[in-house]
Structure 1
Amino acid sequence: MNTVDKNKAILKQLTLFFGIFLLFTDVFFLIIGVVYDFPLIRYVIYVKLVINTTNLFIILKEHYLVATSIIYTVILGFMITGVVSLGIKPAFQLYGLGMIACVSYNGYLHKRVLKKELSLPIVITIHVLCYAGVYLYARFNEPLYNVPQSALDILISFNSLATFSMVILYIGFFHHVALDSEEKLENMALIDNLTGLYNRHYLLRTLDQMKIVTPKKHWIALLDIDNFKMINDTYGHLCGDYILRRVSDISKQECKDCIVCRWGGEEFIILPTSDKTDQSILDNLRRRISDEIFVFENNNIHITVTIGSAFHDGNMTHDIWISEADKKLYYGKENGKDQVVV
């Protein structure tokens, strides 16, 4: 599943969760309204039940922006109703603050998935104004109903739990997405987009971390596709890309105990992960590529590669080590190609 599909699935799950969550709270507050005789709460809940049930169908139809707008409006409306009816002690005003985290993350998902942006400054401003408004209203006006202590305890507990659960849920999702995005960015920095191999940056980082314990046993190889420019000129760059991908796949198959990376252009570097890996795999790789028939747009293409390999002497810098392999590669290119020079 690609990133867009994953974000779309998260957006659907979150929106659907909120729709179901609101229905659950409707049932809870309806029971409270009936048991403690809060008529306004009951009437508002009847309306909310109709709206929230309808909203579930809107969510299933994937009209997420409309559904999200309805959810925010319903929550703010009920927050105002709760404070006007029962005052600020039952903590209905917490929904206004708790929704800010939800608005921010949903706005991010809408932008990424739907390419439609919720105006976060406007939405957050509305939330803050509603919060301040209900607080000021409650400060200077008595609630419509007297709330028994038992009802107050239940409402404080439920509203606090519901609000903090929403915030924790969204923080958890945001944390997951942040880590996922960070991992993807790191992979983009280390993986060659065309071939899927590691890139030059990854190899240099690996060499920096590598400890040469047994000199004369650690080798590095530089592979170059022979006459690659002619392939591009004859069959086009799409064919060249195809050849690069196929050579990459074959190299990974033949050099299983090695790091294979794209060094640049049609050049690849092969670095064993163990000093016990024999250089004979290089000739196996060369023969495998030489025997392969590459089929592109009904064209049978035959290619060869030249490989230069050099051992580490224990004192070499990375640049010198790679340069030694490059010299061997150059020698092979100048003397017939399609060979391994060690």
Structure 2
Amino acid sequence: MELKKVKKISFVANAVILAIVFGLMAFFYISDVMFLTYFSIPTIIVYLIGFVLISNGKLLWYVRMVFTWMTLYMCVTTVCLGYNYGFHMYCFSVIPISFISEYISYKINSRQLKAFKFSVSMALLSLISTGYVAYFGPVYEREQKYAAIFWLINASSVMGFLIFYTNFLIQTIISSEEKLNEIALVDRLTGLYNRHYMINCLDKMDEDYSSAYLAMADIDDFKKINDTYGHNAGDVVLEKVSEKMKSECRGCTVSRWGGEEFLILIPPAVEQPVELIENLRKNIASEKVHYEDKEISVTITAGISPRTDEHSIDQWIQTVDGKLYDGKHSGKNKVVS
């Protein structure tokens, strides 16, 4: 998660809250609750300061200030007008949002709000303020038509922020899970699936894959390439060969099996799998890999075999590995089927 994105979301949320405060201030004035009208002035100042804190990246200070003032605002308005106006509902949005804020702080490697302590404090203050109203009654008695209007505004605000921040949290978690899966299952250098992913893929094959083919390919003389041109050149060769495999083996599952070795699962839907791997070999051999001012000749050797009833997954892999071995010891730059 990027700090820039969090700042943008915080800026928008602060602007929306400030607009709500101006609207509530107007209602307080119309309903002749002058204390709350005046109380709205420092509230406006708080959110104006919030813009400065967000712009300067002081998000923890912003969150602490806003949540503290929201708690005070909730208690004061509830005591003044009663819980029929819905101000006590603020805690139902602020409490979960405080935990979301703590999670966001963790994701951007920032100092974190102590959400649990804050939430307990806010819940207790909410209970105290509503309990006070239940026992003593509100400070101001106003017509119920005003209560209905305020309740709708506050309920809409609470539900709106809950929907927005909950959706933001879920999308962030999904994005994080996708990145973790990519890290766990994709080889970082080549962008191909890794050995772990391929093993899972082979283990989960169903009967439809009974006539699939498996190919194991290896870059010829890769150690010599590293020794001659350096390991950075070797990485470039791995990347270029991987790109070829992605483009040539469409519909197949291609993985970096280890080092300069690749394992390719060819589904039954792909016609002439041996020819597919042979074309891959030719295309790789036909183009030199450019590294700095050098041209590097690259070839691969591959072994390919269909799956038979006698083959377990391990035996199938051993079979193509054996064919690859035969190709390596009979001239290289060939496909053995």
Normalising by the residue count of structure 1, what TM-score does the alignment of the two structures yield? 0.89
1:227 aligned partner: 221
2: CA distance, partners of 1:170 / 1:54: 22
2:276 aligned partner: 281
2: CA distance, partners of 1:204 / 1:303: 27
2:148 aligned partner: 153
Q: How does 1:4-19 map to 2 (within 5 A)?
A: 4-5=1-2, 8-9=4-5, 11-19=6-14
Moved more, 48-57 or 189-198: 48-57
**Residue identity matched to 1:268:** F
2:249 aligned partner: 255
1:128 aligned partner: 123
Partner deviation per Cα, 1:236-274 (whole Å, 9 max, x = no partner): 333322221111111112222322111112110122232
1:317 aligned partner: 312
Determine what percentage of the aligned residue pairs are the same residue.
30
Aligned-residue offset at 1:222 = 0.4
**Residue identity matched to 2:241:** V
Q: How does 1:34-113 map to 2 (within 5 A)?
A: 34-113=29-108
**Where do 5+ consecutive residues of structure 2 fail to align?**
none
**Residue identity matched to 1:205:** N
Q: Is the 8 A contact 2:79 2:130 kept in 1?
A: no
Paired residue for 1:237, among 231, 236, 247? 231
Aligned-residue offset at 1:325 = 0.9
1: CA distance, partners of 2:95 / 2:155: 15
Aligned-residue offset at 1:43 = 0.2
CA pair 287-50 structure 1, distance change in 2 beyond 3 A: same
Partner deviation per Cα, 1:62-103 (whole Å, 9 max, x = no partner): 433333233213312211220232133323122123201111
Q: Does 1:184 find its partner at 2:157?
A: no
2:205 aligned partner: 210
CA pair 315-99 structure 1, distance change in 2 beyond 3 A: same
1:115 aligned partner: 110
CA pair 233-82 structure 1, distance change in 2 beyond 3 A: same
**Where do 5+ consecutive residues of structure 1 fail to align?**
none
Q: How many corresponding residue pairs?
A: 336
**Residue identity matched to 2:133:** A
Aligned-residue offset at 1:32 = 1.5
Q: Helix, strand or coil for the counterpart of 1:279?
A: helix
1:21 aligned partner: 16
Partner deviation per Cα, 1:186-243 (whole Å, 9 max, x = no partner): 333322222111122322333334345586x632110011222233334433332222
Paired residue for 2:191, among 192, 196, 200? 196
Superposition CA RMSD, Å: 2.4
Q: Is the 8 A contact 2:213 2:273 kept in 1?
A: no
Moved more, 120-129 or 220-229: 120-129
2: CA distance, partners of 1:235 / 1:127: 65
Aligned-residue offset at 1:307 = 0.7
Q: Is the 8 A contact 1:15 1:67 kept in 2?
A: no
Partner deviation per Cα, 1:111-146 (whole Å, 9 max, x = no partner): 211422222233223323322332344345443211
**Residue identity matched to 2:188:** N
Q: Does 1:164 find its partner at 2:159?
A: yes
Normalising by the residue count of structure 2, what TM-score does the alignment of the two structures yield? 0.90
Paired residue for 2:334, among 312, 323, 339? 339
**Residue identity matched to 2:155:** S
Paired residue for 2:293, among 294, 298, 304? 298
1: CA distance, partners of 2:53 / 2:192: 44
